[in-house]
Amino acid sequence: MIFKLAWRNIWRNKRRSVVVMTSVAVGVIATLLMDTLSRGMIYQMLYNQIGSHVAHLQIHRQGFRDNPIIQNNIPDAAVVERAVSSTPGISHYSSRILTYGLLSSAAASSGVFLIGIDPDQEGQITTIKGSLAAGTYLSGGPNEAVIGQSLAEKLGVGLGDRVVGMASALDGHVGSDVFRIVGLYETLSSEFDKSFIYIARDNAQEMLGVGDLVSEFAIRINDISQLHTIQDRLLEELGEEYEVFTYPEILPFLVLQIDLYEQSMIIFYAIIGIALIFGIINTMLMSVFERIREFGVLKAVGMKDRRLLMMIVLEAFLLGIIGTGIGFIVGYLIYLPLARTGLDLSMFSESLRSWGVGAIIYPVLTWNVIANALLIIPIFAVLGALYPAFRAGRLQPMAAIRYV
């Protein structure tokens, strides 16, 4: 009956309740869209990094990550290949040779990461092949190079032009070769496009004088929840001579950014909640002052303060939960088409690309977003009702009944 009473009480002043519920709903819609789009942006940064180069797991010789020089190559690629092939859950892998070097054109030079790849293998684990803006992917022909569009602009070269790659070889001398640009790629990160160039693995091995050695195995797995299981299995198979890293270990700042985002969103929700709390306090205070005589009667007939407090808090909770429900449904209905088409932010594409994010943001709805949206605001509504409820609880029955 307390619920029935609270429910009917909130509809005594329909206009006021609708205004409160609308403000709650608008708050929920705004936070839901902001949260899903922000998450979409951050996850896009993460997935772009995974998709363009990092993959889910990387295997190196022990110490390579701290000192990625050509001398720290994988001692026996066949051993790693056997371990990878026998580990369940791995969908594809690519063995690479990579080193830091210099790429020069007639006009300019730039420090780059030279990545020697097997084009077929790499095509299975990264998005470079699919990110070509012009030209073709590596065909296996001699001295082909695929570079980023941004790097090409920086060096003043285009398709078919020749560039010189130089890097420290295994024996300590400088290895160099001339490459013909066959393709220009454009990923969602302009910084990445300026830094990574792809050449055939055997070209790189020859230039660096490493025979058939490789520096890294990049791995994609089928089920991301198995990431650590697969890492443990590979570590067990390969022993201490090798290091196996997961993408959160390779991209700690991005993972930290996601953690920070989760925490900052709680603060953001709290700010929205605090803004709403004053609306709730105001509404509930008005509602309490209008019903002082009635509360006096309720207390006179024996209603205890705790029950009265509960009734007022329940009224605020109902206002909050209905507003939240409406806000969530409307927000979800806006989210659904956006999740399919994305939000086109082309006008900010340059600055977004410098952060590794595309011009189209796809909102991401997670259980965290749903829990935040559905719980935090009703909780603040309850908190907002405590003061008015406490005031009502302190009323003296006689004084309240006589209140004019």
Partner 1 sequence: MNPTDTTEHEEIIRTEDLGKIYEENGIPVHALRGVTTIVHKGDFLVIAGPSGSGKTTLLNLIGALDRPSRGKVFFEGRDLSKKSKSELASIRLHRLGFIFQAYNLIPVLTALENVEFTMMLLGVSEAERRKQAMATLQELGIDELVHKRPNEMSGGQQQRVAIARAIVTRPAVVLADEPTANLDSTTGASLLDLMERMNKDKNITFVFSSHDPQVIQRGRRLILLHDGTIKSEQSRTR
Closer of 51 and 296 to partner 1 (Cβ): 296
Spatial separation of the C-alpha atoms in residues 84 and 51, rounded to whole Å: 19
Site for partner 1 in 372-401 (CB under 8 A): 396-398, 401
Closer of 30 and 399 to partner 1 (Cβ): 399
User: What's at 351, amino acid-wise?
Assistant: S
Site string for partner 1, 258-297 (x = CB under 8 A): -----------------------------------xx--x
Give the three-class secondary structure for 291.
coil
Tell me which of 22, 236, 307, 329 binds partner 1, using CB under 8 A. 307
Give the three-class secondary structure for 386.
helix
Spatial separation of the C-alpha atoms in residues 183 and 96, rounded to whole Å: 19
What are the residues facing 164 on neighbouring strands?
Answer: 104, 178
Query: At closest approach, how far in Å is the CB of 7 from partner 1?
Result: 9
Query: At closest approach, how far in Å is the CB of 387 from partner 1?
Result: 20
φ, ψ of residue 190 to 5 degrees: the values are -65, -30
Site string for partner 1, 12-51 (x = CB under 8 A): x---------------------------------------
Query: At closest approach, how far in Å is the CB of 3 from partner 1?
Result: 11
Does residue 228 belong to the site contacting partner 1 (CB under 8 A)? no
Does residue 5 belong to the site contacting partner 1 (CB under 8 A)? yes
Sign of CA dihedral 96, 111, 204, 172: negative
Closer of 102 and 303 to partner 1 (Cβ): 303
What are the residues facing 110 on neighbouring strands?
Answer: 103
Closer of 40 and 393 to partner 1 (Cβ): 393
Closer of 309 and 357 to partner 1 (Cβ): 309
Does residue 302 belong to the site contacting partner 1 (CB under 8 A)? yes
Give the three-class secondary structure for 195.
helix
Site for partner 1 in 159-198 (CB under 8 A): none
In a 13 Å sphere around the CA of 297, the CA atoms on its Cβ side amount to: 4
Q: How many residues bind partner 1 (CB under 8 A)?
A: 23
Residues with Cβ within 8 Å of residue 368, at least 6 apart in sequence: 262, 265
User: What's at 131, amino acid-wise?
Assistant: S
Query: At closest approach, how far in Å is the CB of 384 from partner 1?
Result: 22
Closer of 12 and 82 to partner 1 (Cβ): 12
Span interacting with partner 1, options 66-74, 268-276, 299-307, 375-383, rule CB under 8 A: 299-307
Tell me which of 304, 344, 366, 371 binds partner 1, using CB under 8 A. 304
Report the b/e string of 6-22 with b at 16+ CB within 10 A. beebbeeeeebbeebbe
Spatial separation of the C-alpha atoms in residues 283 and 287, rounded to whole Å: 6
Spatial separation of the C-alpha atoms in residues 84 and 90, rounded to whole Å: 7
- Token code pair at residue 230: 């697969």
Give the three-class secondary structure for 127.
coil
Q: Contact positions toward partner 1, by CB under 8 A?
A: 1-2, 4-5, 8-9, 12, 293-294, 297-305, 307, 396-398, 401
